Amino acid sequence: MKKILITGGAGFIGSNSALHFAKNKWKIYLIDNLSRKGSKDNLSKLKKNIQLTFYKVNVSNYSSTSKIIKKIKPNLLIHCAGQVAVTKSVIDPRTDFNSNVLGAINILESIRLFSKKTRLINISTNKVYGNISKKKITQGKKRYSYSHKIKSIDENQPLDFLSPYGCSKGSADQYVRDYSRIYGLDTVVLRMSCIYGNMQFGIEDHGWVTWITILSYFEKKIKIFGNGKQVRDVLFINDLVKLFLKLSKSKKNINTTYNVGGGVKNSLSIIELIDILEKKLKKKNKYEKFKWRSGDQKIYISNISKIKKDLNWSPKIKISEGLDKVIKWIRENDSKIKKILKI
């Protein structure tokens, strides 16, 4: 039986990945320090539904992390653990560094020294590209758009780390790529846009699609930072975990970087999301606008043509269907979500 180790395994992406790989007969190992809201609840759900081995460990602790990897020697390691919010990185850049850079180094060193046959999927971010200021942007009634022939951003876009979060994730991104070149590790870097879906206890700083959907469902006031015309491409979690499984089977992607998201067809702005939710929930949303947050991109849309070509992968779940699934999950877990998020 193949073995998978997931760091941040009780988080949103980690939990969904564990369920999917268990369904496909993999042996599941999880690392998480359980610091995120909802992680304890996710872990409890996982334990009720699948067999797993769990380690309560912070990946910034090299001794503990290396011992686990040396013992398991996983076929696949998905590195999801880390600090995930730009705003928190601005407030506390040292913790952001320890979580994202030191954590990644510890994973890489552990694989290099004790488990060199492990395939590593590193979860990176579109924030490594910065605000993409050289691209011309136009402002419409409800969204920003790229000007001229540009519709999305591919992997050739120059890196421009912006915010401590961009610096820490970008540094980890580059360490992973270089460990593959220098030490021959089997790595793939995924620069992700916005992922949303079930078991995501979204917060104001991260997971905006699910967070706004939760606020809309409970008829709470929504905070909009900026004018609400910011655009992202969004990807439902089910499509992402299927991509992980495809990557676990493919060996032609060593030391490859991919942009991963919903692509042009699955992009929307904050205002557009609010409009969709009002129709689906038949409720009028209340919102208040605040000043722009540091490091916020006005528009980012992933060009996913490279990964589509290499792996024959593309998103199957459209925005409307994905939101229906999220609303159903909120409805089935409304009291629990209210308690965890204190809304």
Nearest in space to 330 (alpha carbons), one of 221, 219, 192, 194: 219
Looking up tokens 């606020």 gives 215
In this structure, are residues 210 and 326 in contact, taking their beta carbons and an 8 Å threshold? yes
Q: Does residue 212 sit in helix, strand or coil?
A: helix
The count of other CB atoms within 10 Å of the CB of residue 293 is 14
Q: Does residue 144 sit in helix, strand or coil?
A: strand
Q: Tokens representing 308?
A: 């589509």
In this structure, are residues 235 and 194 in contact, taking their beta carbons and an 8 Å threshold? yes
Q: Count how many Cα atoms sit within 13 Å of the Cα of residue 172 in the half-sphere of its side chain.
A: 35
Whole-angstrom distance, CA of residue 342 vs CA of residue 318 = 30
C-alpha distances out from residue 20 to 4, 189, 337, Å: 11, 20, 23
In this structure, are residues 291 and 225 in contact, taking their beta carbons and an 8 Å threshold? yes
- Is 55 an active-site residue? no
Q: Which of 29, 129, 146, 165 is catalytic?
A: 165
Q: Does residue 78 sit in helix, strand or coil?
A: strand
Q: Containing H/E element for 31?
A: strand 27-32
The count of other CB atoms within 10 Å of the CB of residue 135 is 16
Q: Containing H/E element for 218?
A: none
Q: Active-site residues: which are they?
A: 165
